[in-house]
Amino acid sequence: MSGGNPEGLPKDVGHRLEELERGLFTSDLSVNEFLLVKEAGFHPLGFVMGSSIHHTGVQTRRWSKSQELTKLTEAMYNARELAMTRMEEEAEVLGADGVVGVRLDVNYYEWGSDAAEFVAMGTAVKAEDGGSYRNVLGKPFTSDLSGQDFWTIMQTGYVPQGLVMGTCVYHIAHRGLAQAIGTVGQNVELPNFTQALYEARELAMTRMQDEATRLEATGIVGVRLEEKSHQWGSHTIEFLSLGTAVAKRGDEVTLPKPMAIISLDN
Judged by CB under 8 A, which of 4, 9, 182, 202 binds other proteins? 9
* C-alpha pair distances (Å), 167 with each of 26, 72, 183, 240, 262: 31, 10, 32, 4, 41
CB of 189 to other proteins, least distance (A): 32
Which of the residues 178 through 237 are near other proteins (CB under 8 A)?
Answer: none
The residue type at 247: A
Q: In angstroms, rounded to a whole number, what is the distance separating the alpha carbons of residues 84 and 142?
A: 9
The upper half-sphere exposure of residue 250, i.e. CA atoms within 13 Å in the direction of its Cβ, equals 10
The least CB distance from residue 136 to other proteins, in Å, is 28
**Is residue 53 involved in binding other proteins (CB under 8 A)?**
yes
25 binds other proteins (CB under 8 A): yes
* CB 255, min distance to other proteins, A: 6
Q: Which residues contact 1 (CB under 8 A, 6 or more apart)?
A: 78, 81, 82, 85
Nearest to 147 by CA among 40, 16, 265: 40
47 belongs to the binding site for other proteins (CB under 8 A):
yes
Contact call for residue 27 and other proteins (CB under 8 A)? yes
56 near other proteins (CB under 8 A): yes
Strands 67-68 and 115-127: unpaired
Residues that bind other proteins (CB under 8 A): 6-9, 12-13, 15-16, 19-20, 22-32, 34-36, 38-39, 44, 47, 49, 51-58, 71, 74-75, 78-79, 82, 107, 109-112, 114-115, 117, 121, 151-152, 255-263, 265
